[in-house]
Amino acid sequence: MTLVAEIDTVEENKNIVAQYRRLLRHAKPVLKDGDNAIIRKAFNLAMEAHKGMRRKSGEPYILHPIAVAQIAVEEIGLGTTSIIASLLHDVVEDTELEIEDIRKEFGPKVAKIIDGLTKISGVFDKTMSQQAENFRKMLLTLSDDVRVILIKLADRLHNMRTLDSMARDKQLKIASETIYLYAPLAHRLGLYAIKSELEDLYLKYTEPISYRSIAVKLSQTKIARNKFIRDFISPLESELHKQKVSFVIKGRPKSIFSIWNKMQQSNVDFEHIYDLFAIRIIIDTEQDNEKAVCWQVYSIVTDYYKPNPDRLRDWISTPRSNGYESLHSTVMSKTGQWVEVQIRSARMDEIAEKGYAAHWKYKENTDKTSKEERGLELWINKVRDLLQRNDLSAIDFVDEFKSNLFTEEVFVFTPKGDLKVLPAGSTALDFAFEIHTHIGAHCLGAKVNQKLVPLSYVLNNGDQIEIITSSKQKPSEDWLKFVVTTKSKTKIKDWLKEEKKRIADDGKEIVLRKLKNLKIEMNQEVMSKFLHYYNEKYAQDFYYKIAKEVIDSKGLRNALEQIQGVEARKDLLGDLKNKEIKLTTDSSKNDMLLIGEDLAKIDYTLSKCCNPIPGDDVFGFVTVSEGIKIHRTICPNAAELMAQYGYRIVKAKWTDGHELAFLATLKVKGSDRVGMLNNITRVISNELKVNIRSLTIETEDGIFDGTIQLFVHDTKQLDKLIKKLHMVPGVMGVTRYYN
């Protein structure tokens, strides 16, 4: 036995050395004199610090930081400082080493990055999201060094790639955090390849059947797809060679997640998704000629294939705020299939793949690149402003931050013709605050393209806006309902704060008088109970609503009485987490679900947002006032619940139980014909003996859309029904609907 262990250790060490050497090979182009030695020093320190530690998979822990460094170099394009920080990113959190030790050995830059990557330790308030706090701390370093975020993304990507060894509930939690925060963050920083892989891996662990199904179908259609691509690009290649354009053409399938997402949004199956891939033409030319050559290539493409005029996207003239540049067009192939064509230079392609990190390579080349970088710098400055706000809880901060990640942009002009870029959905009032805080605060209306519009007017690309102000105008609470930018919201709230404080002081007096009559002393505990009961975050909001009579002060006694029941609910979470629960359900209620670490039988309700039925992959969420609610793992709210309130998630699993009926909804689409409705109902009622609750059919231009609500026992019965309906002549799609 000893001999086997020694042989395994020898093989492991060989693998570690091989991975380390591979890292150095990829890093060689960016290394300077002396870099090898300091990287070796970091590697040795990490090896010693993580000695004897293993990951859940059983492999030596050191392979993880090496892999993170590899991603940082190879896939993001970072350099020596990032390699060192990646190798050491877990030593402070998981070992005896402290930040001061790192600072002494490797300097303040590396220490600052690692500090940003180190999770907060200590005891957390149960009402606070630990994940949100960790995320905010990581972003605090953004004002000093963006590499913290980039390395964190590399760390998350490797964790997602190695998620197989984790328990199912951990997989769901980590995957949910990833889709909720990290994939949008990768998108915002221009790391499209990493963003797509994170999304695909999320789907792999939350919807494994759908993921495998799409992957298999992509593989099965690969030969036909490659032939189509060859035929499509053949005339383009000939013409590009004739015109002496230096180029590379790539045809790549869309990501599994994007295909799945389109299937969900369009309510169609895989066979009805036509834009499964995109053609990318990458030109090699001097930076000064990029724009002209890209349009030259566009002209060649549209000479052979008719473009869709509504699908032209010119991100060369006006790059996205994360620096992304490309010319996108959707054209009709000779076989009647729409194809997306992306045209860009090699420089643009590197920025598109490696995002923010690639800017460093080009930033001193020309004034043009510096201008392009400003978009991303402006966004980072907005995040810095957000970080300086002290009135946001960790969860509010993450929500606010997230709202700035995935948004598209709108390009508008001032009366003098200056270009302004705002998030899509921005209003005339957002534009006013973008110009100046004073103009926004006194904004009375606006003229868009010489026409008078209200403050809530939603801006469109190309609009030219003139703001009308009045000294008598002041911000109101209603403004917050239609502004979308963080700057607008912050400034409006600042203006309202003083007025709100005065009104809240009046409300406080009302509450104190009422409690005095009830012979109850106001203290922090009582206030916390009121805030939980009325779903308020701050005491000032509670007092304000009392003064405004939104909350009836006469109901305070009743609120305190109901809070007693809430306290018992809150204890439930501790019982579940400590594996001490011994609860049983009422025998008259469905007892098909086992919940918690011990998978015990306890009371629960099925969430209406996703209507889970037996056989669905589910989890339990401990609410503050409504006990445990059961959600599907792909519920529209699942990612947010798991990402922000991971400590409230408990295991839930179906067991064999009574023949109970659960309500499910199907969406059916197809070509209308005589007898179609009869065929569908016969399959449901006669063949499978399923009870229909309701059925609605709408027909337009020979195509029908139907919604069927029916009672089924479990997912097996539902899947069988869906397959049967697919076999009805004329039916083009059948999908389960969750809302």
Q: Which residues are catalytic?
A: 93-94
Interacting residues of 556 by C-beta distance below 8 A, sequence separation 6+: 511, 514, 515, 518, 530
Residues forming a β-bridge with 707 = 667, 696
DSSP codes, 399-421 = HHHHHTTS--EEEEE-TT--EEE
Give the separation between CA 11 and CA 20, rounded to whole angstroms.
14
Whether the Cβ atoms of residue 439 and residue 469 lie closer than 8 Å to each other? yes
Residues forming a β-bridge with 420 = 412
Helix axes 222-242, 290-304, angle to 10 degrees: 120
Both tokens assigned to 187? 């998108």
Instruction: Pick the closest to residue 162 from 55, 49, 8, 15 (CA basis).
Output: 55
Whether the Cβ atoms of residue 642 and residue 649 lie closer than 8 Å to each other? yes
338 SS3 class: strand
Give the separation between CA 59 and CA 670, rounded to whole angstroms.
52
C-alpha torsion angle, residues 485, 490, 495, 500 (rounded to 10): 120
Neighbours of 14 (CB within 10 A): 10
Neighbours of 549 (CB within 10 A): 10
Both tokens assigned to 239? 């013409």
Cα angle for residues 609, 610, 612 (degrees, 5° grid): 135
Per the listing, tokens 């693998």 go with 15
Give the separation between CA 532 and CA 529, rounded to whole angstroms.
5
Instruction: Pick the closest to residue 269 from 278, 277, 260, 256 (CA basis).
Output: 260
Give the separation between CA 16 and CA 67, rounded to whole angstroms.
10
Instruction: Pick the closest to residue 592 from 677, 655, 636 (CA basis).
Output: 655
